[in-house]
Amino acid sequence: MSFFELLQESLPLLLQGLGLTLWLAFISLVIAMILGILASLAGLSKHAPLRALNSAFVAIIRGTPLLVQAYFIYFGITGVLGIRMSAFTAGVIALSLNAGGYLSEIFRGGIQAVDPGQNEAARSLGLSRGQTMRRIILPQAIRICIPSVVNQWCITIKDTSIICVIGLAELVRQGSQIIARTYRPFEVWIMVGVLFFIVIWLLTLLARIVERKVSLG
């Protein structure tokens, strides 16, 4: 089979896998962003129990491999609780918790990097803590965080490949199935790699445009 025949045969399946990869990454990252912001606020709260909760969450996420987290959620939790969960749901839970943990630290750093004078000016005008956070601190913190957040998005998009271990037919799993049939690992892994590369490259390009648009410098 020539390379082009192989490409022709593989591409539809690989694109199908890519679609699932992107969908998985997208849903997980939307949840992870919300989780990350809430967790970072908990980490900066004046209430000690909330701070402790955030520290424990971040420590567990950082301290264990994503592979173990995914296995634990898909096989461990479903086994003990006797519930059924689709591999996709388990994948979303694992990825969003994982990315959420890292994003919470990124947001916490960003919030703390905003000049304390901004908080003082807003509070002196009568804005409440919550109003100050929403309208003054977070918009600036998120701008500071953009490079690190995009970095985490790239990592999470690629981390979807780990979710193939629980049987989700995303890009990497599609690739290995094609290889099992055709025994052409060299070409197929290049195709898989190139597809990931293009997605990440486009995302980075977009991020750079956004960054320039919203820059305050």
Partner 1 sequence: MAKVEIRDLHKSFGDNEVLRGINCNIEAGEVVCIIGPSGSGKSTFLRCINCLEEPTSGTITVDGHVMDANSPDIDSYREDIGMVFQQFNLFPHLSVMDNITIAPTMRKKMDMAQATELGRKLLASVGLEEKADAFPRSLSGGQKQRVAIARALAMQPGLMLFDEPTSALDPEMVGEVLDVMRHLARDGMTMAIVTHEMGFAKSVADRVLFIDEGIIAEEGTPDQIFSNPQNPRTKSFLDKVLEA
Question: Would you tell me which residues interact with partner 1 (CB under 8 A)?
Answer: 115, 117-118, 120-128, 131, 135-136, 139-140, 143, 214, 216-217
The residue written with tokens 């990825």 in the block is 95
In this structure, which amino acid lies at residue 185? P
Least distance in angstroms from the C-beta of 146 to partner 1: 13
Q: Which is nearer to partner 1, 61 or 141 (by Cβ)?
A: 141
From the CB of 53, what's the least distance to partner 1, in Å?
Answer: 23
CA dist., res. 192 & res. 156, Å (int): 16
State in angstroms the smallest separation of the CB of 50 from partner 1. Answer: 18
| CB 127 to partner 1: min, Å | 6
Pick the closer one to partner 1 by CB: 82 or 117: 117
Min dist. Cβ of residue 120 to partner 1 (A): 5
Tell me which residue of 126, 67, 125 sits closest to 91, measured CA to CA. Answer: 67
Q: Quick one: 16 or 118, whose CB is closer to partner 1?
A: 118
In angstroms, what CA-CA distances link 169 with 49, 69, 89, 146, 177? 40, 19, 13, 31, 9
Q: Residue 184 and residue 147: Cα distance in Å, rounded?
A: 37
Supply the angle between the helices 3-43 and 185-214 in degrees, to the nearest 10: 40
When the beta carbons of 8 and 128 are compared against partner 1, the nearer one is: 128
Q: Considering only CA atoms, which of 201, 199, 210, 209 is closest in space to residue 24?
A: 199
